[in-house]
Amino acid sequence: MSIIVPLLFGSVAIGTSAAILAWRARPNPGATPLVWLLIGQSWWSACIVFRLSAETAAEAVFWTRAGWVGVMIIPVAWVLFALEYTGRDQYITRRNVALLSLVPALTVVLAATVPYHDLLTVRQAGVAPDGTVIVEQGGVWYGVSAAYTYLLGVLGIAPILELLSSRATAFRGQSAALLVGITTPWAANIVYNLGLVSPSGIDPTPIAFAVSGVAYLGAIDRFRMFGANPAPTWRAREYLFDHIHEGAVVVDGHDTIVEINESGADILGIDPDRALGSSASDILPNGSFQPDGGRDYLTVGTESTSQSYDVTVTELTDRHGRTLGHVFTLHNVTQYLRQQQRLKVLNRVLRHNIRTEANIIQGYAERTADDTAETIRQRTMRIVEISEKGRDAIDLFEDAMNSQYRSSLVDLLEQALVAPATRSRTSPSSWSCPRRTRRSRRRSPSS
């Protein structure tokens, strides 16, 4: 007892210091639940101190029963801390908190009414050689409460484990410190419940709180837990997927829709709840969502209100490079296509007018045979060639937008070198450049 009491006092002091730092960090994500967790630890440790100092068995039993308040606060506060700290606070609703607190609240009630039932027993089991009253706890509900606390501990550890692989050093350090802080007392409690260690019938878990308090202090001070917080990361990922203007559809390797954002559902005109878990080929437009479907545009809506979307396919792989599925992103290109159509019409009209005016100029120039007339004819041919090059440039830009079209640099250079020689051998009366055949782009039918 002479060693245990100072350790418990140290546990209370360290836990209180960490609670004060966490309280001052409010309203940072996770600060308030961590305060409650540290209060629960300190309360449990203080009750053990009072129990060891009790002069009668009744007092020892009373403080043991009072300690259940702290015992049950810890697991609930830990889960709430883990959710809020990692940005999953959307799960922290009044309903969920009430459900999480149901078993702990019932446990506290049973501990307060121990004399009237046998579900949770707290009774004197003897006196240690140093005069300390040994208190024994048990009953069916004791096992239920222990299992429940371990379950909540695992649920809280799961999201924090993800941070161990974070690229941010601060987040890795914070998560490691938090895991040490929670697993140390949990391991001590498991050892105690298995009957492997039982010094004077005292649960060593509150003593292990000294280690967890130091770990929490390290996370707060050394790794700036409330100065560099990972909570926005999770929310940002959720926000980017759900609220981006582009539609996004996630399909697994078995052609099943596993996720779709609001924009994607609105674009395709489908109910997201009905789409999830359904076959992509049954809900999505035929051929528009195939990983090898090329770069065809997806047209949605009636003829008067149709919208065109560029479908981009991104492969999802695991760490072994195996394909898990695909993400299909829908980007609205309606304005782009309309602008391209206007440019084509404008270019066609412009080339037609240039050619017409050039023919008229040449006709007048041919009536004379002096050097001036020859110069006029050459310059007129040059103007026509420039207009034809503008048409070829537009064709090149359109081919570049089509991922199915590929040209090697050697072929392009050969075309550039051969084309001038071909034009020089062309009859002056034609003035037309050789037109390259361009791959026609297919359009998906309107859905």
Report pLDDT for 428: 42
Report pLDDT for 419: 65
CA dist 115 → 61, 62, 108, 111, 144 (Å): 11, 11, 14, 9, 19
Report pLDDT for 304: 67
Q: Do 70 and 42 form a contact (C-beta atoms < 8 A)? A: yes
The top-level CATH class assigned to 244-332 is alpha beta
Q: Dihedral sign, CA of 249, 250, 256, 259?
A: negative
Report pLDDT for 425: 52
Q: Do 142 and 120 form a contact (C-beta atoms < 8 A)? A: yes
Measured distance CA(172)–CA(180) in Å, rounded: 12
Report pLDDT for 351: 75
Domain boundary assignment for the chain: 4-234, 244-332, 336-424
DSSP 437: P
Amino acid letter for position 261: N
Report pLDDT for 434: 39
Question: Which pTM does this prediction carry?
Answer: 0.63
CA dist 313 → 236, 262, 344, 403 (Å): 22, 18, 28, 12
Please tell me whether the peptide bond between 27 and the residue prior to it is cis, using omega within 30 degrees of 0.
yes
Measured distance CA(203)–CA(189) in Å, rounded: 7
Q: List the pLDDT tens digit at each of the 447 positions of the chain.
A: 567 788 888 888 988 998 998 999 888 888 999 999 999 999 999 998 898 888 888 898 899 999 999 999 999 999 999 999 888 888 899 999 999 999 999 999 999 999 898 899 888 877 777 777 778 888 999 999 999 999 999 999 988 888 887 777 778 888 888 999 888 888 888 888 887 765 556 778 888 888 888 888 888 888 878 877 777 776 777 677 777 778 888 888 777 888 888 888 888 888 878 878 778 777 766 555 555 545 567 777 766 677 888 888 888 887 778 888 888 888 888 887 778 778 777 777 777 787 788 788 877 777 776 777 778 877 788 887 877 777 777 666 666 655 455 567 787 788 878 766 565 554 444 333 334 333 334 333 333
Report pLDDT for 41: 92
Report pLDDT for 221: 80
Q: Homologous superfamily of 4-234 in CATH?
A: Rhodopsin 7-helix transmembrane proteins (1.20.1070.10)
Strand pairing of 247-252 and 323-332?
antiparallel
Q: Is 284 helix (H, G, I), strand (E, B) or coil?
A: coil
C-alpha 430 chain-centroid distance = 62
Q: Do 148 and 75 form a contact (C-beta atoms < 8 A)? A: yes
Report pLDDT for 108: 95
Report pLDDT for 264: 82
